[in-house]
Chain A
Amino acid sequence: MISSRMRLFGAVVALLLGASGPAPAQQLELKLMAPAAPGGGWDQTARSMQQALVASGIARSVQVTNVPGAGGSIGIAQFVNGAKGDGNQMMVNGFVMVGALAMNKSPVTLDQVTPIARLTEEIQAIVVPANSPLKTAQDLAAAVKADIAKVTFAGGSAGGVDHVMAALFAGTVGADAKKINYIPFSGGGESLAAILGGKVTAGISGLSEYDGQIKAGKLRALGVTSAQRLPGVDIPTFKEQGIELVLANWRSVVAPPGITPEQRKALGDAVEKMVKSDAWKDILKQKGWDDAYLGGDAFADFLKKEITRVTEVLKSVGLVKS
């Protein structure tokens, strides 16, 4: 009742402010689950999809529901059990869910859902405070090799993409990933303060999180995880510095288990059409997300590989007991 009142109010505000009218009618009526609380990355992805799907007339209505909890473990359990065979439902997910499911020993896994498409990705960066003696990724690699315990990494929650990346970095440069001194903070904000304050050796997060500080000269980026240099990013990749570390924090959308191939194709087509719409491109530009569309079987393959890679890393750092 409250949320409907809120929505009503939202509608009134929208009318007052002269927002654009309703999109042309279409047959698709979708339900989209964000397995997280309002405001986070998955929620924003779901609401952006809602906006783009309706604005470009691909769907008549899209309803976003939030099922927060345990890195998406609660949401996926409800999705797999409750939406089985329903061709009008989808769920947003991403890199972080892979690790969360493994760590929480979730009875439901990503093998059970029907992959639809990867949508966006964000490259990751390692930064140091501006006054740090470390100048390049190789300097950091040398420090890690010399005494891994003394190199403190700050980043997001345990088992998340930042943690996986710290372990991969250590492993790639030939140190014992099991011994990394990774200090998880809740959210990018707190870790940023610890890095700026010089409390830790290096920080790991999505590049956008550090962008302002890098440009203001308070942080120095040692490297980014894209395979090639991205346009507009004036930071060397790890690869060109001789460290094979390629990784992205991707977000994707999946459908419930047990849907027919036709239903899967219909959802896949709708998402593909959405990705090509101007509305979606505008949103990507606004939010600073990189388009990483990968549909159909190619995405299914990618997902499988990521699950294997992440689970191995988490086992190697002892977060997941084999």
Chain B
Amino acid sequence: MMDTFAALAHGMAVAMQPMNLLYALIGVFLGTAVGVLPGIGPALTVALLLPVTYKLDPGGSLIMFAGIYYGGMYGGSTTAILINTPGESASMATALEGNKMAKAGRGGPALATSAIGSFVAGTIATIGLAFLAPWLVDFAVRFGPEDYFALMCVAFVTVSATFGDSPVRGLTSLFIGLTLGLVGIDKLTGQARLAIGIPELLDGVEVTTLAVGLFAVGEALFVASRRHHAEEKLEPVRGSLWMTREDWRRSWKPWLRGTLFGFPIGALPAGGAEIPTFLSYSTERRLTKHPEEFGKGAIEGVAGPEAANNASAAGTLVPLLTLGLPTSATAAMMLAGFQQYGLNPGPLLFAERPDLVWGLIASLFIANGMLLVLNLPLVGLWVRLLAIPQPWLYAGILVFATMGTIAAKPSVVELSMLAAFGVMGFLMRRFDFPIAPVVIGLILGPIAESQLRRALAISLGDPMVLLQSPMSATLLGIALIALAAPFVLRGLGRFKANED
């Protein structure tokens, strides 16, 4: 433990060198910028910068990459909250409540709680990275396909939190998403499914294309169609621009809970950032003292997922640094960055190059602080965006969404998909179907399917493998309880009512 402190202090000294501070600043600035643009993520940015940084010293460029990574996570949530366009799939849960808050004139507090929540979560998770990494990685490696499947089951149960009023409509949306998830080459047998002969579809439906189409394009069409009925008045600021005491009181617990979801799941080799954000969202929805606000802009629904999002980014670095396992596109690019300097992340990196590893971890703290300083003053500026007249704002969003999609994948098919999903999003809004379950289905469906099939292939077709692993059995139990609890409680309630 003392060793860790000493190493961290040494790392701080490395990261605090003026040049390294400059790299961190460049990194967080770039990261925020690309995070704001839908479609252009941190992975692409790091890929483009890799050849440029070839001449830099390894410490400096890795510090910059880490800044980009954390910055991207911040930027993605800004657009999610303000214009309902998640910059990346991990900010989708943020858009659910965040955009409702922005429309109610509470964009300021929403942005603030997301920035501060990200800072808190990022800091706690980075401490976790520094102290728990070796222990956590053992746990992560033991997490097998059957355990992932069980985790997906838990996630599926929580989807219902996003259903809105009608479970039937929610399930319909979910199944649309699951069907879209089937499109493309089957990962286990290499056969094409539902690709209808279009080669571009062999890679499946891109989550960002679906999310941007449904959320941003669909919303723009919907607003345009309603314009002559009743014009929605958007007030950029209603009440305080900053978080009130009440906001703080309602935010701090979700921040901590979000961190607890994000960090360990992010550390799993196939965990990702989306699942913890949704788990956090549904948890907050269940625990809140203001259930009536959910769906209309509850601050807990922003604070929790944002914290989970950033904590999972730190979690991703656990397997990267200790095993050399890149578990996200950005992590893969950072791995390429390491290799560019002849460094192989893995069990030996901590022993061979402690200066580098601890410098990187220390610079994560610094990047986090910088992001907070960079983002909080911008809140006032960002919310002014909402004062733009609606036709202009939504035209801008359409341009933005289209550009982002083309930048990520320059193809006619991709653009047509964006348009089709936009129309679908419009129709779903028009006929009152919830949108989030579609995207969740697309994310969770393929993971659940391939993990289950992997588990069964390894066990030679014996389904008992799902119950033999203690982890999997526990998670399945949690899923079952979460599924049954509402019915049981309602039954009990009725029972009590009868007694009275």
Contact = CB atoms under 8 A, between A and B. Distances in A.
B49 A13 contact: yes
Interface stretch (A190-198, A247-255, A265-273, A303-311): A190-198
A44 B333 CA distance: 10
A193 B140 contact: yes
Contacts of B411: 69, 74
A135 interface: no
B190 A159 contact: yes
Given A38-B47, A189-B269, A212-B348, A286 B342 contact: yes
A17 B55 contact: yes
Contacts of A77: 199
Given A14-B52, A199-B145, A212-B344, A38 B43 contact: yes
Interface in B427-485: 454, 457-458, 460
B9 interface: no
Contacts of A197: 141-144
Interface stretch (B124-132, B214-222, B322-330): B322-330
A69 B332 CA distance: 18
B458 A287 contact: no
Given A74-B199, A199-B144, A287-B339, A51 B348 contact: no
B75 to A, nearest CB: 13
Given A19-B52, A197-B144, A199-B144, A183 B323 contact: no
Interface in A61-80: 67-70, 73-74, 77
Interface string B130-152: 00000000001111110000000
Contacts of A19: 52, 54-55
Interface in B186-241: 186-192, 199-200, 202-203
B161 interface: no
A212 B345 contact: yes
Contacts of A286: 339-342
Contacts of A194: 144-145
Contacts, number: 168
Interface in A176-203: 181, 183-187, 189-190, 192-194, 196-197, 199-200
Interface stretch (A3-11, A24-32, A109-117, A119-127): A3-11
Given A190-B269, A192-B323, A39 B336 contact: yes
B287 interface: no
B185 interface: yes
A287 B403 CA distance: 34
30 contacts: A2-B37, A2-B407, A3-B48, A6-B45, A10-B48, A10-B49, A13-B53, A17-B56, A38-B47, A39-B43, A39-B333, A67-B410, A69-B411, A104-B202, A158-B187, A181-B457, A183-B458, A186-B187, A189-B269, A189-B325, A189-B326, A192-B269, A192-B323, A192-B324, A193-B141, A193-B269, A196-B141, A196-B323, A199-B145, A212-B345
Interface of B: 26, 30, 37, 40, 43-56, 140-145, 185-192, 199-200, 202-203, 269-270, 319, 323-327, 329, 332-333, 336, 339-342, 344-349, 403, 407, 409-411, 454, 457-458, 460
